[in-house]
Structure formats: C-alpha cells, structure tokens
C-alpha cells in the first residue's frame, strides 16, 4: 500500500462487505434505536444556549434568541449541539461517515450546477464532521415530525413522514450498494430523484421552487439591494449596497480592506482555472449581512464584485466555528474550521459551488476562519413546515434518499446495507425515537420561552 493509504491491489467482494456490516447487528441490533430521547450528557437547556453564544457578536444575541423562540422547529434548527449531547453515548453501529451534522429537513435545498442544472441536495455543512451515520438520519426524522406539527399535520402523518424517510434511506442505500461504483458515485439529485424516491407528489413543488431558484442570482441581489455609483477615476459604473439594518449594514473601511485581503487569500483554495475566473473581477462594496438562525451573531459579510459589461457577482463570507458535535466525538485536529466545512461539502455533495473555498479575516486583533461561496447560485427551497401530510411524506422520502447518497460518498453503502439487512424494524425504531425527540424539543422550546418571559434571557422578536 502506498503512502496515500489507498490499496488498489486487493478487491473485496460485495458479499463479503455486506457480511461485515451484517455482523455488526449481533452487537448493536437495529431495534435499540427505539430509546429514550434524553442523553446522559445533556446540559441544562439555558446553559447550552448561553454557551452557544460565547463566540458571537453580543448585540445580535437577542435576535438569535428571538428567532429560536418562534417555534419548536426553529428552536431545533438552532440546537444541533443539544441533540448531539443527547445522541452521544447512545447506540451506534460503529460505521462512521462524513456526516452533515445538522441534517434537518430544512437543510435540503435546490441550487445550480456549473452547467446551469437545478439539483437538490444537502446544502448546509456548518456542523459537518466524521461521525455515526445514524445521527444524521435521526436528526432528519425528528425534524420531519416537528415540521409536520408546525404545518398542522396530524400525529399519524408526522410519524409516517419520519418512518418513510428512514425506509427511503434504507432502500436507497441498498440500491446504491448494488450499482456499479462509477454510477453510484455520479448519481445526481436532479428532478428524476423524485420518481426514484417515490415522491412524485412533490413534482409541482420542485418545479415551482426550481423556477424561483433560476431567478435567484447575483444580478437579482444587485437589483434589489444596491444602487449605482459612477467611479469617475476609472469611468466604470459600479454598485453599492443600500443599508437595511440590522439585516444588511454598512461596514467601515478597515473591515472592507480585511474582507478584500481575505478574498485575495481565498483564491488560493480554488482550482487554478477558478482562480483565474475570480481574478477577473474587482470588489465594489462590502456589507455585513445576518443569515439563518444557528449562524446569527457570527461575522457574516457579502462582497459585491463587478465584472464584464455591468456584470455583478455577490460572494458571501461566513465565519466558521467548531462543529457543535465536536465535543461529543473524537474528531481529527482541524487546521481551519472553514476548510473543514468546505472539504466536508466537497465530499458529501454530488456537486459543489465552483467558487466554494475558505479564508481567514484579520479583524482588529483577531484572526477568524471563514468560508466563501456564491451568495446566490440559483438557490431555492421547499419549506417542509408548509407542506400537507401527503407532500410531507413525499418530502421525507426524498430527503431520506438524498441523505443515503450523501453518506455513500464517504462510507461504502454495502456496509450500511449489510447492517440494515432489509429490516423494517429499523424504520419503526427510528420513527419512534423521532416522535419522542420532537416531544423533547417542544419541552426545550418551552423552557426558552419561559426564560425570556422571566427576564433570564434577552430576546428581540423578528418583525
């Protein structure tokens, strides 16, 4: 074997790989996934929330708390670390993958490939890490129960969506295990995935989201968020962001220079041809922009670049902090948290943003890691919390199938397929846990709401 660690001299037959996975069932039966929702390492809810604000901008913390108050599903989206504490020490097969780490239902979205196709895949990797593949699947299943409850789906419908997501994951893994390696590796999550996942009822939702996504471009951002300015020195007509605090705010000259310096360093993390592409642009303006729920309070900037004949490109620079799951696993040492996220996305996604990379910004006396990506790259979404029972069920099957493909990039699907061995008891066990964990999350959300009412935490409720 060479220094790369890759052995190209030995072939292991599919039956033998499946047998290795099947042998794990004796030690960890699939039914053990039906268990209590509260883990031994769970912190106090308010202590967890306060600790999660340690690296955030203090003036934005109340806004993050306010967003998490809006409902149990939104609370769940901002509390990946709390679930990590509950999952830690629980039963696992012993098979690790490059997991998303936060595979809730709203973290699957549409985006464009470099060929202009619209595909759907996992699209958030802030928490990505090497860990038990079961953690992603259980987080997805519980999120479907919470999303369904928010949209008014009855309990049977919520349970069915969670169970069908797990069934779809199991079946898709089995199918991937039987495919030629090259075919399994290049399977794209385009519109055809709907039929493969038996999610045809979502076709209208997919087409509607894709149509909207095609309009979601840097040019649209410029039209909506910027004004024209004339550079009299160069004669070039540029754009400048129009502030809309607190979501979009101007930054001082020092921050602007730090962002431009960081972007110049970022190009070194791209492939050579893409460095040449970015090098043809120049930065017109930089602004601070708040994003998401879990990321509120972190440094996040948008950079407006101008190109050929009025062309604009908007890049997002988002501060990267350690995965919320890191305290509960034994991760390899991380050189750069932005690199961790980018490398995780490149390994898991079928296709990544061609301008995805990482950098370090020197802000005052601090050096902070960031990821850089296109801010609008034909991005779109289907809101799982706005779906009917039938559509939520289809969405669960779709997400389960996509998650199986994502895990198969880093973990041989023949191993997982062997472990699951076509056993529907696994589907029942995870679905039961998902309902139980949704109940746990609703109780946690109530703790947060009551703490704000009692004045223990400050909250700024979004308008």
pLDDT at 167: 96
User: Domains of the chain: which residue ranges?
Assistant: 15-190+203-211+384-453, 218-374
Q: What is the pLDDT of residues 164-221, one digit of tens each?
A: 999 999 999 999 999 899 988 877 565 555 566 666 777 778 888 889 899 998 989 8
pLDDT value at residue 229: 75
- Tokens at 275, concatenated: 């460095």
Cis peptide before 159 (omega within 30 of 0): no
| Listed residue (420, 436, 447, 344) closest to 138, CA to CA | 436
What is the pLDDT, as a whole number, of residue 191? 54
Q: What is the pLDDT at residue 117? A: 85
Q: How far apart are CA 7 and CA 88, in angstroms?
A: 32
- Find residue 233's DSSP bridge partners: none
Average pLDDT per block of 10 residues along the chain, 463 residues long: 79 96 98 96 96 93 95 97 96 98 96 86 96 98 98 98 96 92 77 61 82 90 84 68 92 97 98 93 96 90 92 96 95 94 95 95 96 92 94 93 94 97 98 98 98 96 69
Q: Edge-to-edge strand order for the sheet containing 282-289?
A: 248-250, 282-289, 300-306, 312-319, 366-374, 357-363
pLDDT at 114: 82
Query: Please, what is the average pLDDT of the chain?
Result: 92
Question: Which residues, 6 or more positions from 454, have their beta carbon under 8 angstroms from its beta carbon?
Answer: none
Which one, of 124, 139, 125, 135, lies nearest residue 95 by Cα?
135
pTM of the shown model: 0.94
The tens digit of pLDDT for each residue in 243-288 reads 998 899 999 999 999 999 999 999 999 988 899 999 999 999 999 9
The per-residue DSSP string of 142-201 comes to: HHHHHHHHHHT--HHHHHHHHHHHHHHHHHHHHHHHHS-HHHHHT---STTHHHHTT-GG
Q: Which two tokens stand for residue 76?
A: 């769940």
């Amino acid at each position: 074997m060479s220094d790369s660690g890759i052995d190209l001299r030995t072939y292991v037959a599919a039956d033998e790989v499946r047998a290795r996975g099947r042998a794990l069932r004796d030690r960890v039966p699939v039914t053990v996934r039906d268990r209590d929702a509260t883990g031994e390492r769970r912190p106090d809810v308010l202590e967890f929330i306060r600790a999660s604000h340690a690296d955030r901008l203090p003036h934005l913390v109340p806004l993050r708390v306010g967003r998490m108050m809006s409902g149990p599903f939104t609370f769940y989206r901002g509390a990946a670390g709390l679930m990590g504490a509950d999952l830690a020490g629980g039963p696992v097969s012993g098979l690790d993958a490059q997991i998303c780490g936060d595979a809730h239902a709203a973290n699957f979205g549409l985006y464009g490939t470099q060929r202009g196709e619209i595909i759907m895949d996992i699209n958030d990797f802030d928490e990505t890490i090497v860990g038990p593949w079961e953690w992603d699947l259980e987080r997805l299943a519980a999120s479907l129960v919470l999303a369904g409850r928010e949209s008014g789906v009855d309990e049977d419908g919520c349970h069915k969506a969670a169970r069908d997501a797990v069934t779809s994951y199991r079946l898709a893994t089995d199918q991937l295990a039987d495919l030629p390696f090259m075919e399994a590796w290049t399977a794209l999550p385009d519109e055809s995935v709907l039929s493969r996942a038996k999610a045809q009822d979502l076709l209208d939702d997919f087409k509607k989201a894709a149509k909207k996504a095609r309009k979601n471009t840097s040019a649209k951002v410029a039209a909506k968020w910027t004004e024209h300015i004339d550079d009299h020195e160069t004669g070039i007509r540029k754009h400048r962001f129009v502030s809309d605090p607190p979501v979009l705010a101007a930054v001082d000259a020092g921050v602007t220079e730090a962002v431009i310096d960081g972007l110049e360093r970022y190009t070194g993390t791209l492939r050579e041809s893409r460095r040449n592409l970015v090098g043809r642009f120049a930065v017109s303006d930089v602004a601070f922009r708040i994003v998401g729920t879990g990321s509120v309070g972190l440094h996040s900037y948008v950079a407006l670049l101008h190109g050929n004949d009025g062309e604009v490109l908007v890049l997002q620079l988002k501060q990267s902090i350690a995965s919320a799951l890191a305290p509960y696993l034994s991760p390899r040492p991380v050189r750069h948290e932005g690199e961790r996220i980018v490398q995780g996305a490149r390994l898991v996604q079928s296709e990544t943003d061609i301008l995805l990379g990482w950098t370090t910004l020197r802000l005052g006396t601090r050096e902070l890691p960031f990821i850089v990506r296109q801010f609008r790259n034909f991005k779109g979404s289907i809101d799982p919390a706005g779906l009917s029972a039938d559509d939520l069920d289809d969405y669960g099957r779709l997400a389960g199938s996509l998650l199986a493909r994502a895990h198969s990039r880093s973990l041989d699907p023949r191993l997982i397929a062997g472990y699951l061995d076509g056993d529907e008891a696994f589907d029942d066990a995870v679905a039961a846990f998902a309902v139980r964990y949704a109940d746990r999350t609703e109780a946690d959300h109530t703790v947060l709401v009551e703490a704000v009412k009692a004045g223990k935490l400050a909250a700024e409720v979004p308008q």
